[in-house]
Amino acid sequence: MSVASIASVAASLFVLGIVLSIVLNINNFAIIAQKQFDNIQIFLVDEMQADDIARFKRKIENIPGVSKVDFESKDMAMEKLKDRWEDDAYLLEGLENPLQNSMIIELTNISLADEVVKQIQDDDYIDSISYYKDVIDKMLTISRIISTAGLAIILLLSIVSLFIIANTIKIALYARKREINIMKYIGATNWFIRWPFIIEGMTLGFLGAAIALGSVYVLYGFIFSKLSSEAYSLIGGYLLPISTIFDNIAIIFASMGIGIGVLGSLVSLRRYLKV
């Protein structure tokens, strides 16, 4: 039963660690995006000529809330992509450029994106429009959904852990029932009897927390190293290093693991301390 107790605590806290890691990284990306991606990118139809591009650029510059407009040719976009891919840029060599010419619009405030888009979205020169406000909103919505679902799973697993630890302590109490009754009759206080079992529950919870913490550390470190490699630098660049979240997760795990262990012990002790 002790192994089952430790495993159940480890499982519930492992899920908590995964949920926390995902939510923290999504929120971090959203914060970075709100600061850095204050622009709209308009992809243009291929038929546009130089004069058309110049006129369209002037039109956008006159829209309130627009601070700057830059034209980016498909060749410039390809060079940026090659720079981003670094050593993997050779994969693009010899391929027909699939990218499009575009206008990159910098705004005085990203909150104005919807209004600016409304004023240009029906223009015949536009093939498609991309801006990050929708992406940020969707990411934060996903973060809330993951948080809610994760907390429900964690609550369920914590109750299971509590139940298993309580049964583990009950078995230990039953084995020492006569000894406990004798201690009660000769004047031992309830707290004197409780402490060894509370410490046992704390130990089971702490061991479960340690296993969960080690598992999360190894898994997160592996994922971080993979996504931070050259081929995934765009994604990995926004991941939080394990060192920035490890201390907080360790404190949460230790507190919850020990807390579940203590609660499980106290639940079991209530019955057996009635003489």
Beta strands in the chain (DSSP E): 39-44, 66-72, 102-107, 126-131
pTM recorded for the entire structure: 0.59
Mean pLDDT of 219-243: 65
Q: Does residue 261 or residue 137 have the better pLDDT?
A: 261
- Per CATH, is 37-131 categorized as 3.30.70.3040? yes
Average pLDDT over residues 160-180: 73
Q: How far apart are CA 77 and CA 56, in angstroms?
A: 19
pLDDT, residue 230, reads 45
How many residues belong to the chain?
Answer: 275
- Residue 234 binned pLDDT confidence (cut-offs 50, 70, 90): very low
The pLDDT value recorded for residue 214 is: 93
Could you give the CA distance from residue 273 to residue 197 in angstroms, rounded to a whole number?
Answer: 12
Mean pLDDT of the chain: 78
Helix H, strand E, coil C: the string for 220-268 is HHHHHHHHCCHHHHHHHCCCCCHHHHHHHHHHHHHHHHHHHHHHHHHHH
Mean pLDDT of 243-260: 85
191-200, 211-220, 236-245: the lowest-pLDDT one: 236-245
Residue type present at position 97:
N
Element (H, E) at 81: helix 74-85
Q: Provide the percentage of residues in the chain whose pLDDT is more than 70.
A: 81
In the chain, domain spans? 2-34+136-272, 37-131
pLDDT confidence of residue 21: 84
pLDDT at residue 236 tops 60? no
pLDDT in tens, 20-30: 888 788 777 76
Of 193 and 220, more confident? 220
> What pLDDT is recorded for position 211?
93
Tokens of 146: 């993951």
Average pLDDT over residues 174-200: 77
Backbone angles phi, psi at 66, to 5 degrees: -90, 125
Report the pLDDT averaged over residues 17-39: 74
Model pLDDT for residues 74-132, shown as the tens digit of each residue = 888 878 777 766 666 666 676 777 788 888 888 887 678 888 888 888 888 888 887 76
Q: What is the pLDDT of residue 149?
A: 80
Which pLDDT does position 220 carry in this prediction? 87
* Whether the Cβ atoms of residue 269 and residue 195 lie closer than 8 Å to each other: no
Condensed to tens digits (0 to 9), the pLDDT of residues 203-228 reads 888 998 899 999 999 998 888 777 65
DSSP 8-state code for residue 73: -
